[in-house]
């Protein structure tokens, strides 16, 4: 078993889940978070069957089910009525479904477990760099202090600067498109929806997803609203476009959303989201490992980000049963274990994103024909749902076994 005292930088889904899973295996871990008072920020999440299995292994699935909303189907179309996406989890497996949940609700579950396990959590202590040798890793903190740990796990997001200190080939290329999003209360007469999307070519996309309650004491159910925008239009959008005009654009694309938008009355309710394609030749460098978006950030089109983070934490903990190997060997085995799954979804994300968020003409035209017509073919539908469910490890065959 590796030596104890592992540092984890970043207390998001990947970092918190890794801290919990390692602590459950008897490993001493410490969380470092740059923000003095961490608050869960981010859009609603779709927990796939894969992410649900990890939460079940952590004893958190029942709590998540009580807060979230079951999603059985993804449906997307154009204003003219052309079906682009129509995918049912039940056609993958009769008991399969997605779980729409607010990020804040999921983070509170993970953070509560972190506290229950007594994991040291250093808030407001930014890690600015690190050096490693054969014995361990020294973290350089923003206040000038140097702290030693036997290993380091980086879980601080797609735009991590610390990742650049790893001696592995890598790149992080920002996507040219992002989004604004918010969670709005479901109006009393608003129809029951599942994961609903409306497209105009690839230049406009509106997404709606029920995400349940913000917390255990909250009776109000929310709906996550996602509106695609080029990154160049994100900065200062509320000054150039204005909230009223933005709502008009949304309503023009999807008139049914008007009652929901009545709850959107201040530009401050909308948060901005930016994404990056993160590629690494491998995810470990000696005693340092990158997980979550820090290791394999991708666009949100496949709905896999939080699920990949949970799987990373789960699979890392599973590699601790290989004897008294040191951290470099554990991290190397973890990389081999995750390679096929992560490579497939990284490639799929890069290939699919221009079909849904771009100024392209040909790509969305092909999307409408292939996903609309082709998606009705049993084999293609099965492959599409398996991709959405998060279980594919290759284009033609291979399934993840958690």
- The residues spanned by each domain of the chain are 6-44+103-174+276-389, 177-273
Nearest-CA neighbor of 359 among 138, 182, 205?
A: 205
DSSP letter at 268?
G
Nearest-CA neighbor of 362 among 205, 228, 231, 201?
A: 201
Instruction: Quote the pLDDT of residue 321.
Output: 66
Instruction: Quote the pLDDT of residue 368.
Output: 85
Which distant-in-sequence residues (6+ apart) come within 8 Å of 5 by Cβ? 28, 29, 30, 148, 149, 150
Nearest-CA neighbor of 276 among 312, 302, 300, 308?
A: 300
Residue 389 class from Cβ within 10 Å (0-12 exposed, 13-18 middle, 19+ buried)?
A: buried
Give the CATH superfamily of 6-44+103-174+276-389: FAD/NAD(P)-binding domain (3.50.50.60)
Half-sphere exposure of 354 (CA within 13 A, CB side): 10
Q: Indicate the helix (H) or strand (E) that contains 152.
A: strand 151-154
Which distant-in-sequence residues (6+ apart) come within 8 Å of 360 by Cβ? 201, 202, 354
DSSP reduced 3-state for 110: helix
Q: Which residue has the tokens 């394609």?
A: 277
CB–CB of 136/150 below 8 Å?
yes
Mean pLDDT, 10 residues at a time, the chain of 402 residues: 79 97 95 87 87 97 96 94 91 91 95 97 96 95 94 97 98 95 90 91 95 84 94 90 95 96 94 94 98 96 93 96 76 97 95 91 87 75 89 92 88
DSSP reduced 3-state for 271: strand
Residues 384, 235: Cα–Cα separation, whole Å: 34
Instruction: Quote the pLDDT of residue 323.
Output: 47
Residues 345, 135: Cα–Cα separation, whole Å: 34
Alpha helix (H) residue ranges in 281-326: 293-296, 305-318
The distance of Cα 11 from the centroid of its chain, to the nearest Å, equals 14
A 10 A CB-CB count for 381 gives 18
Residues 279, 346: Cα–Cα separation, whole Å: 8
CB–CB of 4/145 below 8 Å?
no
Q: Which residue has the tokens 């004897």?
A: 323
Which distant-in-sequence residues (6+ apart) come within 8 Å of 276 by Cβ? 158, 159, 172, 173, 174, 175, 297
Token readout for 136 is 């361990």
Residues 137, 150: Cα–Cα separation, whole Å: 6
CB–CB of 54/17 below 8 Å?
yes
Nearest-CA neighbor of 253 among 277, 232, 225, 279?
A: 225
DSSP letter at 12?
S
Residues 61, 41: Cα–Cα separation, whole Å: 21
CB–CB of 114/20 below 8 Å?
yes
A 10 A CB-CB count for 276 gives 18
Q: What angle do CA 144, 146, 147 make, to 5 degrees?
A: 140
Token readout for 394 is 């290759």
Q: Is the dihedral of CA 237, 42, 160, 31 positive or negative?
A: positive
Residues 379, 384: Cα–Cα separation, whole Å: 9
């Amino acid at each position: 078993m590796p030596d104890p005292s592992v540092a984890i930088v970043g207390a998001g889904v990947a970092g918190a889940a890794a801290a919990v899973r390692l602590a459950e295996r008897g490993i001493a871990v410490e969380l470092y978070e740059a923000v003095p008072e961490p608050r869960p920020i981010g859009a609603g999440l779709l927990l796939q069957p894969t992410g649900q299995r990890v939460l079940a292994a952590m004893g958190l699935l029942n709590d998540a089910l009580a807060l979230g909303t079951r999603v059985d189907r993804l449906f997307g179309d154009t204003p003219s009525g052309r079906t682009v996406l129509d995918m049912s989890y039940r056609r993958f497996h009769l008991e399969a479904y997605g779980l729409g949940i607010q990020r804040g609700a999921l983070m509170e579950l993970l953070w509560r477990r972190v506290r229950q396990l007594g994991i040291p959590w250093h808030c407001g202590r930014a890690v600015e760099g690190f050096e490693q040798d054969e014995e361990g890793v020294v973290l350089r903190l923003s206040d000038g202090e140097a702290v030693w740990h036997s290993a380091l796990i980086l879980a601080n997001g797609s735009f991590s600067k610390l990742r650049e200190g790893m001696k592995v080939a890598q790149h992080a290329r920002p996507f040219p498109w992002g989004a604004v999003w918010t969670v709005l209360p479901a109006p009393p007469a608003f129809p029951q929806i599942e994961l609903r999307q409306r497209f105009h070519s690839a230049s406009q996309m509106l997404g709606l997803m029920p995400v349940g309650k913000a917390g255990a004491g909250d009776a109000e159910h929310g709906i996550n609203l996602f509106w695609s925008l080029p990154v160049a239009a994100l900065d200062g959008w509320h000054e150039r476009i204005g909230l009223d005009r933005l709502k008009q654009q949304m309503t023009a694309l999807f008139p049914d959303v008007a009652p929901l938008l009545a709850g959107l009355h201040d530009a401050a309710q909308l948060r901005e989201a930016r994404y990056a394609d993160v590629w690494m030749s491998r995810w470990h460098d000696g005693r340092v490992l990158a997980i979550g978006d820090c290791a394999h950030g991708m666009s949100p089109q496949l709905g896999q980000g939080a699920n990949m983070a949970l799987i990373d934490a789960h699979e890392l903990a599973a590699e601790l049963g290989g004897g008294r190997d040191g951290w470099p060997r554990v991290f190397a085995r973890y990389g081999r274990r995750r390679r096929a799954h992560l490579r497939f979804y990284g490639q799929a994300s890069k290939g699919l994103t221009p079909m849904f968020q771009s100024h392209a003409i040909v790509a969305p035209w092909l999307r409408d024909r292939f996903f609309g017509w082709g998606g009705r073919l049993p084999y293609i539908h099965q492959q599409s749902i398996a991709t959405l469910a998060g279980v594919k490890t290759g284009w033609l065959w291979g399934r993840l076994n958690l």
